[in-house]
Amino acid sequence: MAAPEVWTERMLTALVTGLKGNRWFRLIDKVYRYETLVAAWEKVQSNAGGSGVDGITVNRFQKTCLDGLLVLKEQLQEATYQPKPVKRVWIPKPGSSEKRPLGIPTVRDRIVQTALRRVIEPIFEARFAEHSYGFRPGRGCKDALRRVQHLLDEGCTWIVDADLKSYFDTIPKARLMARVEEHIADGRVLALIRSYLDQGVMDELRYYEAGEDGTPQGSVISPLLANIYLNPLDHLMAENGCEMVRYADDFVILCRSQADAEAALAITELGVSLLTSALIRTIRGVPDRCPSCGSQKLSPERAVHTSDPETTYERPVCDKCGWVGEPVVIEPTRAKRRRKVPDTECVIMSKPFRKYTRPK
């Protein structure tokens, strides 16, 4: 649901009726609006959490929160805000003796990410599939479990259980940003999102630069970005009549027969391959300098898909101000794998969960 202190009546109407060009401009002023930052701070304060690399706790920030929020507002308004590296801690992995990494942004970065999420989340919420339950407002794991139980009661007792291995670490940033750019055209908001994707990591006294792939686990904005990236898979499954229930990177597909489960598994494998394959193509028509600030430091967005798999495009991006140019249509070329892709663990089960292995 859209936050009332962020979204005007006109914007709420546009969410329902649609927007010309299907892209939103001028969102950054909603992010640095003081009321938005205050609401974001209250959310961060209620969640508590540890300190980031700067050592500033929630209680410490509270003592000077008014001044701190004004500083954030000024930095966002003047485009001088830069997020700090994420502090990595290791926490126990449920059901295992292993540990998994968790990133802890600074308090100030969590405030800005929360403000950013409050502004852009309604844009994508209106397009998310009904069977997606993870990290969405008004939804949770109990809702997903209730849906699973309902489908079991309806006779869907053959289950495809899938898990995307190392999903958050393998999301291609360029293609993720292309999905975001389909609906957001504010260059400064896009630059802000990129800055979070490019955050480095501090593990004790060691600093690691961000790689080409992955979103920082533990950040406020990561679950929304992950849902944006998986949304095409959600709709692919729904369009093919598959009863999928997804919570973040874990999902199950409930079917009435073994044959239906086999078909659903094939569609799943196709959908995952479309998510993880990359396209190699040539850049055309990139301008010599940024029309916004005059900078000559322009970079192409690479390996980008449109919603039509037969059409591909790339956009020039200004490294200085975040300006994003109009898409340049590129002739389709052969798809090749260029990066480590997440493994998909799938097993088909029938009630009472007899494991079924498909013949190779």
Q: Could you tell me which residues come within 8 angstroms of residue 56 by beta carbon, excluding any fewer than 6 positions away?
A: 106, 107, 108
Residue 329 in contact with residue 315, Cβ under 8 Å?
A: no
The whole-angstrom separation of Cα 271 and Cα 260 is: 16
Reported pTM:
0.75
The whole-angstrom separation of Cα 75 and Cα 70 is: 9
DSSP code, position 51: -
| pLDDT tens-place string over residues 125-145 | 989 999 999 999 999 999 999
Assigned token pair, 346: 């799938």
The whole-angstrom separation of Cα 69 and Cα 74 is: 9
Q: How many CB atoms lie within 10 A of CB 274?
A: 14
pLDDT (0 to 100) of residue 282: 27
Residue 62 in contact with residue 112, Cβ under 8 Å?
A: no
Residue 228 in contact with residue 240, Cβ under 8 Å?
A: no
58 HSE (CA, 13 A, CB side): 15
pLDDT < 70 positions in the chain: 1-5, 276-292, 294-316, 324-360
DSSP strand pairing (328-330 vs 312-314): antiparallel
Residue 241 in contact with residue 151, Cβ under 8 Å?
A: no
The three-class DSSP label of residue 89 is strand
75: nearest Cα among 45, 32, 110: 32
pLDDT (0 to 100) of residue 314: 60
Q: What angle do CA 49, 248, 105 make, to 5 degrees?
A: 25
The three-class DSSP label of residue 198 is coil
| pLDDT tens-place string over residues 300-356 | 554 334 344 444 556 667 777 777 666 554 444 333 333 344 455 555 554 433 333
pLDDT (0 to 100) of residue 287: 54
What phi and psi values does residue 273 have, to the nearest 5 degrees?
A: -65, -35
For residue 334, the cross-strand partners are none
DSSP strand pairing (86-92 vs 201-203): parallel
Q: How many CB atoms lie within 10 A of CB 258?
A: 13
pLDDT (0 to 100) of residue 133: 96
| Identity at 78, one-letter amino acid code | E
| pLDDT tens-place string over residues 241-259 | 999 999 988 899 999 998 9
